[in-house]
Amino acid sequence: MNIIFDNINKLQNARHLNKHEKLIHAITSAIESKELKKGDKLPSINKMVAEVGYARKTIVKAYEELKGRGIVESKNFKGYYIADVKTGVKLRVALVLYAFHEFQQDFYNTFREEMGSNYVINVFFHHNNLDVFKDILTRISGRYGMYVIAPIVHPEVKQLLKNIPPEKLLVIDRYISLPNEYSYIAQEFENSTYEQLVGLLPRIRKYDKFILFFKEDSDYPIGILHAFNRIIKDFNINGFVENHYIKNSIEKDTLYFFIGDSNLWKLLSDSTQKNLLIGKDFGVLAHNDNAIKEIIFGGITTISVDFKKMAQASAKFIKHKDIIHNIIPSELIQRNSL
């Protein structure tokens, strides 16, 4: 590995670079000149300390930054190796989401655009399955420079997240209580949903029944169920909670509240077949806004956070690394369906 040591010596007078930056530049230059190839082993930390005289923590910092960019990988008890020769990558980001719902696609597209082409983003889906979530974290551990994770709200998940260094983790979407050095950009479901429902009371009272579709064994936020139960109790609304929408069960003078979109599409299909007018014969309220809900059937009224703003804030955090604790309240987007 004389090429690395030679490159470092050439940079001794480069005062604009600190020591760990000189080491990074020496390695990436050797890759770009094709003197280091994928799979080549790098000098051990002890060897680097002995040859260049840098502190051990300086060498570790440089190697860890190169790992975060995907250029270097470490193998247990075997050392550090060149994993990729794409030196233009600034950072590899693991994005762990529930599933590719429309609103999460909005998040991803905005996040991808905000990050730019020099960041590699790999997406993983856990589908609210704890075993799948654990498997994903095991497979990606130590392989990325940053982890952006929408977690499962489960007692075991807190410790799993704490295994990731706080400076490398951003928790999004669902709030998990972690030490203050961890960052999050999360939704608040119960109180903000309740407040929006209070604002909708005059419209809610137009209907004889108010039905929420909520599946207990899903990734639906429990806070929405709590908000619904509070509103029907506090204001004496004729409300019901059902597990799912049954085909051809649509009724007049009923307001339907959906969290998942699959039930919503079934009801809208039934309304077309039975010639029932949305916003007149029956009402629809949905959670999580997206482009389809903006235009279909003249627009679906939603209670939602702005996922594009969440994505922009997430990208800003990754680029600047300033600790952020941000709870985003839901907003009402009123359209033709209610």
Q: Which two tokens stand for residue 257?
A: 């509240």
User: Global pTM?
Assistant: 0.81
For 82-126, write each residue's pLDDT tens digit: 888 887 778 889 999 988 777 788 889 999 999 988 898 999 999
CATH classification number, 190-304, choose in 3.40.50.2300, 3.40.47.10, 3.30.70.1350, 3.40.50.2000: 3.40.50.2300
CATH class given for the domain over 91-188+307-326? alpha beta
- Contact 83/72 with Cβ under 8 angstroms? yes
Between β-strands 254-258 and 239-242, what pairing exists: parallel, antiparallel or unpaired? unpaired
Burial of 326 (0-12, 13-18, 19+ CB in 10 A): middle
Q: Highest-confidence range of 1-10, 88-97, 259-268, by mean pLDDT?
A: 259-268
Q: Show me where the domains of the chain are located.
A: 2-82, 91-188+307-326, 190-304
CA distances for 133 relative to 128, 129, 150, 228, 261, angstroms: 8, 6, 10, 29, 23
CATH class of 2-82: mainly alpha
Tell which wins on pLDDT, 34 or 237: 237
The size of the chain, in residues, is 338
Q: Tell me which of 17-31, 126-140, 199-213, 237-251 is least confident.
A: 17-31
Rounded CA-CA distance 67/63 in Å is: 6
Residue 1 pLDDT: 62
**Residues 6 or more apart in contact with residue 321 via CB below 8 angstroms:** 167
Is there a shared CATH topology between the 91-188+307-326 domain and the 190-304 domain?
yes
pLDDT tens sequence across 218-260 = 888 999 999 999 999 999 999 999 999 999 999 999 999 999 8
